[in-house]
Amino acid sequence: MTQDLEQLAAQLDAARITGDVGTPREGNLAHIQRFLDQETHFHFGVELRRAWDFDSVFDLMVEKVGISPDRSHLRGQDTISAQKCIAAAARFADALGEVARGGGRILFGSGHPAGMVPVHQAFAHVAEAAGAEVVRAAGPIRVATDGGDVRHLHGVWIWHQHGGIPHTHSPEPVAHLLAELRRRGEAAPDLVVADHGWAGHPGSQGIRTIGFADCNDPALFVAEAQGQVEAAVPLDDDIEPQLYRPLVEFVLDRAGLPGDDIAF
């Protein structure tokens, strides 16, 4: 590891984006079972394509995320590996750079308004400046369920309801968005950059997808293992947005995209 990557890892750990993160162990373990039970808001729209049980998903989360491998550790602190985060972020950057520099069509979406939306907005801004076609709004798209709609906010699609932007794991908003784009005769995106159900559903539908996931989000790591998501970057996804800046800068540098004017 170069000194720069060691410094980045230290910054991520200091911000608790990785290392000793705020997501509790008991939640991480509970979400594995709730994902396997395919509960609403825990499956993220990820279609299971092979047999998984608790132990196999747990082992995957140790391998891909860096949660504690101690099966007797049931409560309290859990971890995310900075090195695993950086390695996945490099794969994320390679895909983003390839599609953006090639003038591809990219859809950015997020279910985490207070943490990840500004991160996605930074990537959308830079990708568009590099020649990518960022999928933007052509009028409101109503969603029948729960009285909400999907809206485009400075490059990023979000779920809007009752005048606010709720946190959501649901794959429903992006499923409706993609269906409406098809109805309007618009091309499917060449790449989806997202989190939560905004990443899980497109990946399961065969759309090239990269994204971010917390240590209590096993769905996207299973999707990566099944070949549905190209890169799932493990991190705490609800940190103050400006703290992600070192990671954003790493991704843009690796992707070969200029990021001098990104702002949070």
The b/e string for 153-184 (b: 16+ C-beta within 10 A; e otherwise) is bebbbbbbeeeebeebbbbbbbbbbbebbeee
pLDDT of residue 146: 67
Position 145 pLDDT exceeds 90 = no
> Confidence band (pLDDT; 50, 70, 90) for 261?
confident
Number of H helices and E strands in the chain, helices first, is 9, 10
In the numeric block, which tokens belong to residue 11? 């910054």
The one-letter amino acid code at 52 reads: W
Among 96-105, 133-142, 152-161, which stretch is predicted with the lowest mean pLDDT?
133-142
Mean pLDDT of 81-98: 98
pLDDT per residue as tens digits for the range 215-251: 999 999 999 999 999 999 999 999 999 999 999 999 9
Q: Is the pLDDT of residue 175 over 70?
A: yes
pLDDT at 198 over 50: yes
Contact 59, 223 (CB under 8 A): no
Phi, psi of 143 (to 5 degrees): -120, 125
Q: Is the confidence at residue 141, as pLDDT, over 80?
A: no
> What pTM, to 2 d.p., does this model score?
0.96
Cite the DSSP H helix spans in 24-112. Answer: 25-36, 54-64, 82-101
Break the chain into its structural domains and give their ranges. Answer: 1-264
Residue 124's CB: how many other CB atoms inside 10 A? Answer: 25
